[in-house]
Amino acid sequence: MIQSLRLRNFKCFADQSIAFAPLTLLSGINGQGKSSVLQALLLLRQSYHQGLLSDTGLALNGDLVNIGTAKGALYENAEDDAIAFDLEWRNHSNGRWTFEYNSEADILNLASEPVSSEIFGLPLFSDDFQYLHAERFGPRVFSEKSDFQVRRHRQLGTSGEYAVDFLATFGREIKSLEGVRHPKAFSADLFDQTEAWLGEINPGTRLQFIEHSGTDLVSLRYAFGTEKHVSSDYRATNTGFGLSYTLPVLVAILSAKPGALLLFENPESHLHPRGQTKMGELMAKAANCGVQIVAETHSDHVLNGTCITVRSRMLPPDNVCLHFFEIRIDNDIARSEVVSPRIDRKGEIDQWPDGFFDETEKSLAKLLMPVED
């Protein structure tokens, strides 16, 4: 499990250390540095899978992230031409990488000593990993199948494009961890757990797969109902956008093993407030089962779901890290700074910097102001 990440001369960071916990939530106004933290981890992973990280360098472009050339990666006011990432894990493993800067290059040469090969067996580099970016697949009549990504490496795809194939393949094989199981699910099977948690978005959701013989396609159809009555099944394109958009996130969480690493961008996208709160609760419960989740979020409801789980004693407060990112101008130099509020055992947060999930209170204050005639 990752314990800390230090970024030097990377994008909007001059020198910044970020603490990690089983559940780490990254928040802040757009363009303040949240995504750069995820990108640093993704750059290391994609460089390893391109066969470069161990002894050659850093690949700025690939299947996980595309930075362009090194000019887009170097901190604008860097005092030296080197980009560095330092990672520490809770098992006391350390990985320190420094890369030479070349403004026109998209592969940066390794300038530090190679790290121990044991590090590359950790979840950041192994198949015990999932990354879902903000632009996930919405409703589709057909979904792709992939023997390589799904059956060999158990990956959902960065857009969740293989989530339906994954669920159809492993829905009755994988058992969800006890701590994340929905009380209304028919069994511990991944399929039943996913169906039950989707019911938090749209009550009574039922799932059905249709295999298309002779093709690499599978269809997911939805039905809705109660114990006494279930509707006809509908194409995904004829149902709510939130169901399809949320499906990969639920499958990633509910299929994860202890020690797995999950990176999410806006897991709450297209969910109503109740669904967002339940997403926060589910991520917190998974973190209590030993799954590490790092999520970029703009949702106060996700935060509330996390706080509720802590208050309910289902997750120790030390197992949550909150980071709020904001750009500060000092002597005409812009850099991202990080404020890290803490949650106590009552689920209460010790500080609320301006812009940290406070828009509801600000809007309410304006609405309560006297109106001039």
The mean pLDDT of 127-139, rounded to a whole number, is 91
Amino acid at the residue 363: S
Q: What is the pLDDT of residue 373?
A: 65
When the pLDDT of each residue in the chain is averaged and rounded to a whole number, the result is: 90
Q: Who contacts 41 (Cβ-Cβ below 8 Å, separation ≥6)? A: 2, 5, 124, 263, 294
Amino acid at the residue 299: S
User: What's the rounded Cα separation, in Å, for the pair 136 and 167?
Assistant: 16
Q: Who contacts 241 (Cβ-Cβ below 8 Å, separation ≥6)? A: 138, 139, 270
- Cβ proximity of 109 and 57 under 8 Å: yes
Model confidence at 323: pLDDT above 70: yes
Residue predicted with more confidence, 248 or 331: 248
Give the DSSP letter string of 36-60: HHHHHHHHHHHHHHTT-TTTTEEES
Q: What is the pLDDT of residue 229?
A: 62
Look at residue 246 and give its three-state secondary structure: helix
Residue predicted with more confidence, 34 or 287: 287
Residue 187's pLDDT band, with cuts at 50, 70 and 90, is very high
Look at residue 307 and give its three-state secondary structure: helix
Look at residue 102 and give its three-state secondary structure: coil
Q: Which residue has the tokens 């391109």?
A: 50
The mean pLDDT of 219-227, rounded to a whole number, is 77
**Would you say the C-alpha torsion 7, 13, 17, 20 has a positive or negative sign?**
negative
The mean pLDDT of 70-96, rounded to a whole number, is 93
Q: What is the pLDDT of residue 347?
A: 93
Which of 76, 71, 16 shows the shortest CA–CA distance to 40?
Answer: 16
Amino acid at the residue 30: N
- Cβ proximity of 167 and 145 under 8 Å: no
User: What's the rounded Cα separation, in Å, for the pair 356 and 26?
Assistant: 11
Q: What is the pLDDT of residue 210?
A: 85
**Would you say the C-alpha torsion 180, 279, 186, 260 has a positive or negative sign?**
negative
Look at residue 268 and give its three-state secondary structure: coil
Amino acid at the residue 35: S
Cα–Cα distances (Å) from 323 to 20, 137, 175, 211, 307, in that order, read 10, 28, 32, 43, 15
Angle, CA 209 vertex, CA 203 and CA 211 arms, to 5°: 165
Rounded to 5 degrees, φ, ψ at 230 are -125, 135
The mean pLDDT of 307-334, rounded to a whole number, is 88
Model confidence at 334: pLDDT above 70: no
- Cβ proximity of 66 and 19 under 8 Å: no
The mean pLDDT of 260-276, rounded to a whole number, is 93
User: What's the rounded Cα separation, in Å, for the pair 252 and 263?
Assistant: 10
User: What's the rounded Cα separation, in Å, for the pair 139 and 288?
Assistant: 31
Q: What is the pLDDT of residue 180?
A: 97
Sketch the domain layout of the chain as residue ranges.
Answer: 1-128+258-366, 138-255
Residue predicted with more confidence, 12 or 264: 264
Model confidence at 214: pLDDT above 90: no
Cα–Cα distances (Å) from 184 to 144, 156, 243, 251, 286, in that order, read 30, 25, 18, 17, 17
Residue 227's pLDDT band, with cuts at 50, 70 and 90, is low
Q: What is the pLDDT of residue 238?
A: 66
Q: What is the pLDDT of residue 359?
A: 62
- Cβ proximity of 303 and 25 under 8 Å: yes
Q: How many CB atoms lie within 10 A of CB 92?
A: 7
Amino acid at the residue 41: L
Q: What is the pLDDT of residue 54?
A: 93
Q: What is the pLDDT of residue 166?
A: 95
Q: The domain 1-128+258-366: what is its CATH number?
A: 3.40.50.300
How large a percentage of the chain has pLDDT more than 90?
69
Residue 216's pLDDT band, with cuts at 50, 70 and 90, is confident
Look at residue 321 and give its three-state secondary structure: strand
Q: Which residue has the tokens 């530090």?
A: 112
